[in-house]
Amino acid sequence: MTDRWTTRGPAQTRALGKRLGATLAPGDTVALCGDLGSGKTTFVQGVALGLGVAEAVTSPTFVLVREYRGRLPLYHVDLFRLDHIEDLEMVGYDEFVSGRGVTLIEWAQKMRERLPGDYVEVTFAVTGQTARTVVAIPHGPRAEQLVRQWHTPR
């Protein structure tokens, strides 16, 4: 099952993320793809709301990963400036991706071979000044369950 939404404005992208965030469980991984400005960080802000994170979520571009405390730990990774895949080890990627939190990875296409066996891929595309299309593709049985729960009429 693939799912596709069109959002009109950042608030709708946040709302979409919030719905996903409400259903995430320990060990879930979400790979976020799409160009700069397509809405990946905006979406993560919504997921954080759905996980009950009180802090404001900002882009972790220069630090690779930020951790937030909500109902579950949220690891927000941004690989935009990743030059060497080995840098992932330095930030503890292997530990947290298989741990008790949930991991969201911007520019995940840069590390496709290091993604876990089961993850949801969400791709964002700019289709207008404030319009974005959001396409979710599940990779694995848990991801399929997540996408099914996430689905609502658009």
Q: What is the rounded CA–CA span in Å between residue 125 and residue 21?
A: 21
- Contact window for ligand ADP (CB under 6 A) among 4-12, 66-74, 81-89, 135-143: 4-12
Subset of residues 21 to 50 that bind ligand ADP, contact rule: CB under 6 A: 34, 36-42
**Minimum CB–partner distance for residue 101 and ligand ADP (Å):** 20
Taken in order 56, 93, 99, 114, the sign of the CA dihedral is positive
Q: Give residue 149's identity as a one-letter amino acid code.
A: Q
Q: What is the rounded CA–CA span in Å between residue 80 and residue 16?
A: 23
Confirm or reject binding of residue 40 to Mg ion (CB under 5 A): yes
Q: What is the rounded CA–CA span in Å between residue 153 and residue 7?
A: 12
Subset of residues 113 to 132 that bind ligand ADP, contact rule: CB under 6 A: 124, 130-132
**Chain residues in the site for Mg ion (CB under 5 A):** 40-41, 59, 106
Task: Name the site residues for ligand ADP (rule: CB under 6 A).
Answer: 7-10, 12-13, 34, 36-42, 106, 124, 130-132
